[in-house]
Amino acid sequence: MPTYILRDLDAGPWTRFKERAHKDGWPLRPLFLQLMADYADGKLTLSKGPGPRPLAGFSVLTCKNLACPAGGQPQQVTTRKDEVPAILKAKGVTCPACRTLIPLEAQELEHLESWFHTSDPNPGEFGG
């Protein structure tokens, strides 16, 4: 089961979300799962369109270099959009711990290329 981490949440909506969940008797995990299922099934109508795409991408990757200080453990690798052309050319990202190339699957490379060609939000909109 994948893990998804939400960072830098606005305190206002997050507090209101938790207060409503508490009032309605929903523990947060089952609430998120129900929201995901209802959204996926088209049962939810959102009040506005898609939000801006993030300015940086995050991947959890495992370096295969046996001498890597990361010791073969999965690590989060941050990718800036301006790094994408070099990543596509190399077909992988550089390990933050040992600078060895970590090859990416074809699908991951396609996602990066798609993200690269998607326009950025205005800086002030990010996280809004």
Contacts with Zn ion by CB under 5 A lie at: 63, 65, 68, 95, 97-98, 100
Residue 71 CB, nearest distance to Zn ion (Å)? Answer: 9
The alpha-helical segments, DSSP class H, found in the chain are 11-24, 28-40, 84-90, 106-116
Q: d(Cα 93, Cα 58) in Å, to the nearest integer?
A: 11
Q: Which is nearer to Zn ion, 35 or 70 (CB)?
A: 70
The DSSP output letter for 103 is E
Q: Which is nearer to Zn ion, 69 or 127 (CB)?
A: 69
Pairing of strands 101-103, 74-80: unpaired
Residue 9 CB, nearest distance to Zn ion (Å)? Answer: 31
Residue 102 CB, nearest distance to Zn ion (Å)? Answer: 7
